[in-house]
Chain A
Amino acid sequence: MVKRVAIVGIGTTGFRPITPDVSFRELIFEAARKAYTDAGIEPSEIDGFITTAEDFMEGYSIADEYCPDQIGAVLKPTQTVPGDFLHGLATGYMMIMTGAFRTVAIEAHSKASNVKNIGELMGFAQDPVYNRPLRETPHAVAGLEMTRYLFESVTTSEQCARVVVKNKRNAMRNPYAAFGADITEGDVLASEPVSLPLHRLDIAPHADGAVVAVLAAEDIASTVCETPVWIEGIGWSTDTPTLEMRDWGDAAYARLSAEMAYRMAGIEDPASLIDFAEICDEYSYKELQHMEALKLCMPGEAGFMLESGATSYQGELPINISGGALGVGHLFEASGAHKILELVEQLRGEAGARQIPDVNVGLAQVWRGVPTATGAVAILSNM
């Protein structure tokens, strides 16, 4: 029986606001080539492949068709998980745990710059009968949710703006990040109101890029890899897709997926055991809301924890040291991939200028965006 699964290789193109010079297949090829080189493995030695993609974002009706060639998966077991990269990671983890697969590669990419009108496209995710006729944009829904969260947790817009300042500054140390900047809270609050209390700079701008990771069973991981990064816990969960029926202040999907991952990893006190976290900050308030749902702090305390500096680069629990979605760019299905990339680099001690000293356990969390209430959590360690 397989007992543990590790990430033994990872590769990325880095993330850019636009990539007119390459197709999405070329982006994926670059990431795959780097991942296989990193793992010291040939694609022919990989037993299974997973790609994560959503048709509408790709502009193809069966986007799955175009995945095999550039990742070396021709005539191999290959599937698409229309979910976040972390859902793909969970599937890959399960495949290896069955014993039928020893190595699995997972791919995620974003070519958001190819989509002419993302706001309108995301509108197609809303219920066609009840919500779509209202023509709400995703940001309008997020603005409503932000209002509810700020009210319930007694958090302020200023605290949310501080998340943006922190993450964009962190991104300046990350060579992969597309949107690093040195700005102030005043800049965020003075930016164009989109759907109050949400301002333009509270929203993560989208970016292009690809990531491929290689997973292996314990026996292989220990032989091919100097620092295997182990998957200690993984959880995923979905709350109701119906906007009218959910509790808007509570990110139930994050709470439930974290509980599943903590149970698997045997973690009872996450705040003290987890060294650093990469959590979803597609909107600034989401970082704070998710910190509470992940039990990294008590309900209502995330804003104060941020203000105390505990989640900053040199704090006790650095959050979004990569720059998060606000600093790196929102990557849609690849959101979890850049978080896993950051975890792997930090846990291997390869994070360069942004390396946190003495880290052993990291957490990655994603949310699939408006109007979903779907999320996933992964806990990785180098021990």
Chain B
Amino acid sequence: MGMRKVAIVGAGITKFVRRAQETGKELSWQASKMALESCDLTLDDVDMVTLGTAPDAFDGVHMKGEYLADGAGAIGKPYMRHYVGGGTGVFSPIHGWFHVASGMADICLVVAEEKMSSCHPHPQGAFLTIFDHTTEQPLMPTLIWIFALEMHRYMETYGITKADIARVSVKNKLNAMDHPSAQIPQKITVEDVLNSETLCWPVNRLDISPASDGAAAIVLASERVARRLTDKPVWIDGVGHAIDTAYWATRDLSYPRYVETAARQAYEMAGITEPDKEIHIAEPYDPFDYKELHHMEGLMLCPRGKAAQLTADGVTARDGNMPICPSGGALGVGNPIAATGLMKIIEIFLQLRGEAGKRQVPGNPRCGLAQAWGDLMQMGTVVVMRN
């Protein structure tokens, strides 16, 4: 295609916790510093900065991007915030890719931050105002309420049981045991998930990722600079993003067509025709356990309705044929929204470099994918990477 190649050359991530003592600025600073140190750069080397963070209502700060500017190392630099709801974290490297692939920057620092604990008594409160003020807010919906609708629809369409879905939670929380940033790594069983408190049927407490505070950052570089900085650049070979209609009640909730649209863009750019064979490892967004299955199907990693069977067969385990969420995902590592997406990008980055330590998947993966999803169940963001 004649585009400038863009590589990830460094990454940093804070611990994900329920209530961080640090401010959002400090979390951003920690992640940015780690990312720069991981590739022996300083702020002086950075041309531009882009920051991803989800609703301002979490921190209770208007123009949150402006507030976080100094923490993200942006002072005196071209700096922008980008935002696609829950899909923000995987959109962050896409926005960074615009900076470098366009030739505007050679080195771009990409930061993702979320501090949900500032929202009292629980960040769910912030989600009350995501719904249409005329047609939906009077019903007092919560996020769990609409995801229960979607989960139920998915189960009904393909004849999937709650136990099939619970296996995802068991797998991811176990994977997270090896992640140093993890908030709730746990060894649990399918029965534990099924017996946990029902929040809004069919969603139980252990089907859901926690509310978290955390930040992550990566350094993007143009090809010439990347080859000078590292022997192991990980290339961003395909990017895609797509949004569906805001009128979510008019959509078929059993299949995320916006994820498919985004994936097709990324696959076309990366020259991928058979994603189930060419993608060796994937980090789809898993804020709810059924979403991992839903997204695997949208990403065309398996036929519709078949993701649960792959999980039951162990194909998606860390030592399976197609490891899915080897990091532990949002269910295990935690879910500071924008930072989660970038955590997934960082996991694929480390796996493709063979630097994932105890989490390293066997078989030297060469091509990986991360995906996030957001807004009113309508936004898909996809990044394909190769080593």
- A residues sitting closer than 8 Å to B (CB atoms) are 1, 54-56, 59-62, 64-69, 73-83, 87, 90-91, 93-100, 121-122, 124-125, 127-129, 235-242, 252, 256-257, 260, 368, 371-372, 374
Contact = CB atoms under 8 A, between A and B. Distances in A.
Interface in B50-80: 54-57, 59-67, 69-70, 74-80
B69 A374 contact: yes
A8 to B, nearest CB: 19
B157 to A, nearest CB: 20
B103 interface: yes
B258 A75 contact: yes
A128 B83 contact: no
A125 B80 contact: no
A82 B266 CA distance: 24
A64 B244 contact: no
B77 A237 contact: yes
A54 B61 CA distance: 11
A75 B242 contact: yes
A60 B104 contact: no
Nearest to B374: A62
Contacts of A55: 55-57
B264 to A, nearest CB: 10
A236 B242 contact: no
B209 interface: no
B70 to A, nearest CB: 6
B4 A98 contact: yes
A371 B70 CA distance: 13
A69 B62 contact: no
B80 A98 contact: no
Given A61-B130, A100-B3, A68 B63 contact: no
B242 A95 contact: no
B101 interface: yes
Nearest to A246: B75
A129 B79 CA distance: 23
Contacts of B379: 64
Contacts of A100: 1, 3, 101, 239, 269
B78 to A, nearest CB: 5
Given A61-B130, A64-B84, A64-B379, A54 B240 contact: no
A-B pairs, 7 with minimum CB distance: A97-B102, A94-B102, A124-B62, A98-B101, A125-B62, A238-B79, A94-B98
B243 A74 contact: yes
A240 B80 contact: no
Given A74-B244, A82-B82, A97-B102, 8 more contacts: A56-B62, A61-B126, A62-B54, A75-B244, A79-B83, A79-B91, A81-B81, A237-B78
**Residue with the greatest number of chain A CB neighbours at <10 A, chosen from B67, B98, B242:** B98
B74 A80 contact: no
A77 B78 contact: no
A74 B245 contact: yes
Contact of B103 (A79, A83, A97): A97
Nearest to B91: A79
A68 B23 contact: no
B95 interface: yes
A146 B95 CA distance: 36
19 contacts: A61-B126, A62-B374, A62-B375, A65-B246, A67-B246, A75-B242, A78-B242, A79-B241, A81-B81, A82-B63, A83-B81, A96-B102, A98-B101, A237-B78, A239-B76, A240-B70, A241-B70, A252-B76, A256-B76
Contacts of B126: 61
A91 to B, nearest CB: 6
A372 B64 CA distance: 11
Interface string B262-280: 1001000100000000000
A54 B23 CA distance: 21
B75 to A, nearest CB: 5
B378 interface: yes
Interface string B139-154: 0000000000000000
Contacts of B62: 54, 56, 121-122, 124-125
B332 interface: no
Interface in B209-243: 239-243
B145 to A, nearest CB: 15
Contacts of B179: none
A177 B285 CA distance: 46
A56 B56 contact: yes
A127 B2 CA distance: 45
B85 interface: yes
B77 A97 contact: no
A338 B83 CA distance: 23
Interface string B243-265: 11111000000000110011001
Contact of B67 (A97, A125, A239): A125
B75 A1 contact: no
Contacts of B102: 93-98
Contacts of B3: 98-100
Contact of A238 (B64, B75, B257): B75
B243 A68 contact: yes
A54 B98 contact: no
A62 B59 CA distance: 13
Contact of B70 (A237, A242, A257): A242
A6 B126 CA distance: 39
B97 interface: yes
Contacts of B99: 94
Interface string B81-96: 1111100000100010
B259 to A, nearest CB: 11
B82 A97 contact: no
B93 to A, nearest CB: 13
Contact of B378 (A65, A99, A128): A65
A237 B76 contact: yes
A68 B84 CA distance: 12
A76 B129 CA distance: 25
Given A62-B375, A68-B246, A100-B3, A368 B98 contact: no
Contacts of B78: 90, 235-238, 257, 260
Interface string B28-60: 000000000000000000000000001111011
